[in-house]
Structure 1
Amino acid sequence: MDSATLLEKAKAATDNATVRRVFGEPIERDGIVLLPVATVSAGGGGGAGKGFAGKTENPDPAGEPSQGEGSGGGFGLNAKPAGVFILKDGDVTWKPALDVNKIVVGGQVIAVVALLVARSILRRQLRKRR
């Protein structure tokens, strides 16, 4: 794949990194408009190569240093719901999206810390009794 084709594919991917990929179109019913909001980020990479400017530890069978080659690539896209703006009777309110995974991980971290603190306290009390 040549670099022009790779750049065209990367551009097409970034063009698709929109809020509509996460939520769809804003919704209007009974005078209320829901305007979804998302956090969308994208990143890319590249590469190249050709010859090797120096000696290598793995010469080819003829005893000559091997010639380098190269390639590369990479692309990442991340889209997360952030929340929704609610427009009703001229007032705007914000309702954040709830990330259950963060809540679960936060609870696990708190539980581990609590267990470590309890273990430390119990060890100190056992040492005092001796």
Structure 2
Amino acid sequence: MENPSAAATPALSLLERLGQQLSTSATAQTVYGTPVERDGITVIPVARARYAFGGGGGGGTKEGEGAGSGLGAGAGVSLTPVGYIELREGRSRFRPIRSSVVPLVAVSGVVAWLLLRSVPRLLGKRKNR
């Protein structure tokens, strides 16, 4: 009978290599971008970084398949801008980037409400004609 840890070794090795590659890309520069200076103001971009990886493997189920067949792994990185740090006259200030979705939804709701409110008046005028 096969040693279960022997089947897991290739999968673990693959995950370890994947983890090492992701850890080299997870630097402060990934989250805090390159500073830009202009007119005495320095701006440092700030992003939210999300890393995820996983994988797995399984032993062969058919005759002749070796241990470790069916290995798989994947990784993903998501960088989302969240704001910037402004350096001016020896002071720092974080300035968030606001999402425009909330105001857009609010404006759309008000417009829809106004349109629905005017429908009975429009229908009343059509009946009077």
Which TM-score band (shorter chain)?
A: 0.5 to 0.7
d(CA) in 2 for partners of 1:106 and 1:70? 48
Larger proportion of helix: 2
Q: Deviations over 1:1-51 (max 9, x none)?
A: x44355223321332134534664112344322222111110111101115
Query: In structure 1, what is the equivalent of residue 85 of structure 2?
Result: 85
Residue 105 of structure 2 is aligned to residue 96 of structure 1: no
Alpha carbons of 1:22 and 1:93: their partners in 2 closer, same or farther (altered >3 Å)?
A: closer
Equivalents in 1 of 2:38, 2:105: separation in Å?
40
The equivalent residue for 1:34 is 43
| Residue type of the alignment partner of 1:95 | R
Aligned pairs, number? 108
Q: Percent identity?
A: 31
Where 1:14 maps in the other structure, the secondary structure is helix
- Consecutive unaligned residues of structure 1, counting only runs of 5 or more, are 53-59, 123-130
Q: Which amino acid aligns with 1:86?
A: E
1:107: which partner in 2? 104
Letter in 1 for 2:24: D
CA RMSD in angstroms, aligned pairs only: 4.0
**Structure 2 unaligned residues grouped into runs of 5+:** 1-9, 120-129
Whole-Å Cα distance in 2 between the matches of residues 113 and 31 of structure 1? 42
